[in-house]
Amino acid sequence: MSHKYSNGGIANGGGDYRNNDDEEMGGVVLGLDGGTTSTICVCMQFHPQLVDPLPILGRAVAGCSNHNSVGETAARDTLVQVMTEALSKSGSKKSAVRAVCLGVSGVNHPNDQERILNWLRNIFPSHVKLYVQNDAVAALASGTMGKLHGCVLIAGTGSISYGFTEDGREARAAGGGPVLGDWGSGYGIAAKALTAVIRAHDGRDSQTMLTDSILQHLGLPSPDELIGWTYADPSWARIAALVPVVVSSAEAGDEIAQQILNDAVQELALTVTAVVKRLGMAGEDGNLHFPIVMVGGVLEANKSWDIGKEVITCILKTYPGATPVRPKVEPAVGAALLAWHFLRKEIYGKCYR
Amino acid sequence: MSHKYSNGGIANGGGDYRNNDDEEMGGVVLGLDGGTTSTICVCMQFHPQLVDPLPILGRAVAGCSNHNSVGETAARDTLVQVMTEALSKSGSKKSAVRAVCLGVSGVNHPNDQERILNWLRNIFPSHVKLYVQNDAVAALASGTMGKLHGCVLIAGTGSISYGFTEDGREARAAGGGPVLGDWGSGYGIAAKALTAVIRAHDGRDSQTMLTDSILQHLGLPSPDELIGWTYADPSWARIAALVPVVVSSAEAGDEIAQQILNDAVQELALTVTAVVKRLGMAGEDGNLHFPIVMVGGVLEANKSWDIGKEVITCILKTYPGATPVRPKVEPAVGAALLAWHFLRKEIYGKCYR
């Protein structure tokens, strides 16, 4: 989905700041977005102030770095590869790196965070500041230009909501993966659609346009083939890739597809409102303003059936001060902005806002 | 679950019939039940008539033989191993085998059937009759003493219903595995319970006794650990093993656990009624009698909250002629009985009933 983001302009070379890491300013920061499907790294100059366009020097893309999905060794190798390539494209040396922030999918526990920090400590010298966050935190920062306040909702292959208050409290909801019922995720929507096809086929539920549209999309002759198809590859992203087919069927008037999307909207809205409620982010009367950063393929404008728009409508009923934000930069830039903020705070003792 | 079945008495040796495979009667048949968790093989004498107790000579148990779960090589090796051991325990030689029936989980398609038949053709000489069926068919035969008439409902780790009419038509429902929403299965029930714990923890749903009971059962300190626990091992049986914890919570009055079980009952009843309806098994007025063979851990008597009993109550509302059967022999014996019937039909030109 990176194609729709501005990368802030890819500048050529690190300018005056490169290889100048003895001074307070200068050098570069790396931001990484490790999603379920791909890992993206951007290299940004460490300017003293945020400028527009952002001084992005280089960008690289690699495969999945979720250690839960691909295992620890493959995840680590992917991170090293994508950082090396981003630095190379920037014309920057590893010695210019002053801070790295990884927003990694699958960081659900302090142990995960500690393990990934250990990988990075073996790659960079000790003066380099290292930060590991759930990828949702980087996504939030991509909509708030690095400020950790408000709520983010990610709905791509998986789904998760994360919230931060100005006084530093945080909460999350969902993000548990397929077994733990993230039914608003791309995987959740598509799994329900596949289930609807099987149920129509074996007589447990009504017929649906999803049958023809999904079978045609997958090139399968009969619903009987779907069981083998789902077993053939355990990738959730492969299942989630069927979401546009579900949206098309809903737009064509299929009631079962519409119900699946309506349920997903309710699930996603609930994922956000649970976080907002726990943090008291909307104040006692529920009317305070706060940003909701919306990220991921499921929330992108889907012609007439716009899941993201429906989710916002649903949230506004409870929290009229919620302000939807569609990030103009990608989550990897959000991670770089976090690295910038964290490093600036280390130097000046407070976070730039 | 084999402990609760009679194996029909393990006879010592094959008696007069062993090594007598030049005659119409004599020799042995093998029945196999390849479930998601284990594979069981029994060796039975090929008597001309069914006798009581059944002339079971030997029984062996091995691991999973679902090629979707463990891969083709491991599945095939497991089948060979368990047949060899059952013959050895029977004091029978491979040359005494006259027919083999495999009821294998994961046989959802003629291609699956053909592949497994090819494995067997490489193991046995050409005069040995070979039959491969979905494991649900063997389970049905275990409740009808080998007669293919009626409906079977299996709810263990997975769930499926299979039905056969006396004139040879058949139909199935569910059995698609975790992605395709078998919500009445042990996996489905337990996944919903785990999801309920996560939802209570992150504020999306009400608190539930399931939190304490599941965390205590798994020895985990917090719901935050559940995400890592589900990712640590993709085995569905490991998830499904939590069903007794859900039943205990429901019995203790937890409304969320009760709702999960009630939903599972509705799902399982619908799985059966969809098959009965498609086959017209209950006749035009819906009152004809037919057996429903109930198999699997989920359907076993669960103290005060008896899922199997509730499913039957639900089915009887639509089909009052449905007659629940709890098999007295295990599905592997059902497979042996099928082999017996099929072989007898080959010899006498009709199925013994």
Stated pTM of the model: 0.84
pLDDT value of residue A99: 96
CA of residue B64 relative to chain centroid, distance: 13
A52: confidence class by pLDDT, cuts 50, 70, 90:
confident
Look at B303 and A228; give whichever has higher pLDDT.
Answer: A228
B150: which DSSP letter? E
Average pLDDT estimate for A220-243: 91
Helix (H) or strand (E) holding B333: helix B331-348
Helix axes A307-318, A255-279, angle to 10 degrees: 40
The predicted structure's pLDDT at residue A15? 39
Q: Which of A171, A177, A203 lies nearest to residue B230, judging by beta carbons?
A: A177
Residue B126 pLDDT: 92
pLDDT over 80 (residue A287): yes
Q: Which H or E run contains B143?
A: helix B135-144
A246-284 pLDDT tens trace: 999 999 999 999 999 999 999 999 999 999 999 999 999
As a residue count, chain A comes to: 353
Is B73 near chain A, with CB under 8 Å?
Answer: no
Cβ A248 vs Cβ A259: under 8 Å: no
Structure tokens at A198: 């099987």
Residue A231 clears pLDDT 90, i.e. is over it: no
pLDDT given for residue A25 in this prediction = 65
pLDDT computed for residue A53 by the predictor: 83
Q: Which residues of chain B have pLDDT under 50?
A: 1-3, 7-23, 351-353
A68 shares contact with chain B (CB less than 8 Å): yes
CA dihedral sign of residues A95, A101, A105, A106: positive
CA distance B227 to chain A (A): 6
Residue to substitute from A105, A172, A204, A259, interface B, most B β-carbons within 10 A: A204
The answer to whether the beta carbons of residues A270 and A181 sit under 8 Å apart is: no
Kindly give the residue spans of alpha helices, DSSP state H, lying in B34-90.
67-70, 72-90
Q: A198 contacts in B (CB within 8 Å)? A: 174, 176, 180-181
pLDDT band per the 50, 70, 90 thresholds, residue A223: very high
**Residues A138, A140, A143, A149: is their CA dihedral positive or negative?**
negative
Please tell me if residue B204 touches chain A, with a CB cutoff of 8 Å: yes
Mutate to test the interface with A, among B105, B204, B270 (most CBs of A within 10 A): B204
Does residue A311 belong to the interface with chain B, where contact is any CB pair within 8 Å?
no
Instruction: Name the residue with higher pLDDT: B256 or A18.
Output: B256
Neighboring chain B residues of A177 at a CB cutoff of 8 Å: 227, 230-231
Question: Does the beta-carbon distance from A174 to B274 stay under 8 Å?
Answer: no
Q: pLDDT digit string (tens) for A66-108? A: 777 788 888 889 999 999 999 999 999 999 999 999 998 767 6
Topology given in CATH for the domain delimited by A2-147+329-348: Nucleotidyltransferase; domain 5 (3.30.420)
- Mean pLDDT rounded to a whole number for chain A: 88
In this prediction, residue B24 carries a pLDDT of: 58
Judge whether B114 is closer than 8 Å to chain A, CB to CB: no
Probe site for chain A from B68, B108, B227, B259 (most A CB atoms < 10 A): B227
Res A5: pLDDT: 55
> In whole angstroms, what is the distance from residue B285 CA to residue B224 CA?
53
**What strands, in cross-sheet order, belong to the sheet with A28-34?**
A56-62, A39-45, A28-34, A97-104, A129-134
CB contact under 8 A, B204 and A173: yes
**Partner residue opposite B179 with nearest CB, options A172, A224, A239:** A239
B2-148+329-348 in CATH: which number?
A: 3.30.420.40
First to last CA, chain B: 28
Contact flag A228-B271 (C-beta cutoff 8 Å): no
Chain B residues closer than 8 Å to A175 by CB: 227
Residue B81, both tokens: 């191993």
Q: Band of the pLDDT at A18, cuts 50, 70, 90?
A: very low
Ramachandran category for residue B250: left, alpha or beta (phi over 0 → left; psi -120 to 50 → alpha): alpha
* Helical spans, DSSP H, in chain A: 67-70, 72-90, 110-121, 135-144, 186-202, 210-218, 224-231, 236-240, 243-251, 255-279, 307-318, 331-348
CB contact under 8 Å between B174 and A203, yes or no, is no
B171 touches chain A (CB under 8 A): yes
Instruction: Name chain A contacts of B277, Cβ cutoff 8 Å.
Output: 203
Question: What's the average model confidence in pLDDT over A124-135?
Answer: 91
CB contact under 8 A, B227 and A174: no
How far is CA A165 from its chain centroid? 19
Q: Do B228 and A108 touch (CB under 8 A)?
A: yes
Helix axes of B209-218 and B255-279: crossing angle, nearest 10 degrees:
90
Helices A243-251 & A186-202 angle (0-180, nearest 10): 60
B residues 261..290 contacting A (CB < 8 A): 270-271, 274-275, 277-278
Rounded to the nearest angstrom, the minimum Cα separation between B24 and chain A is 39
Q: Residue B28 pairs with which residues in a beta bridge?
A: B45, B97
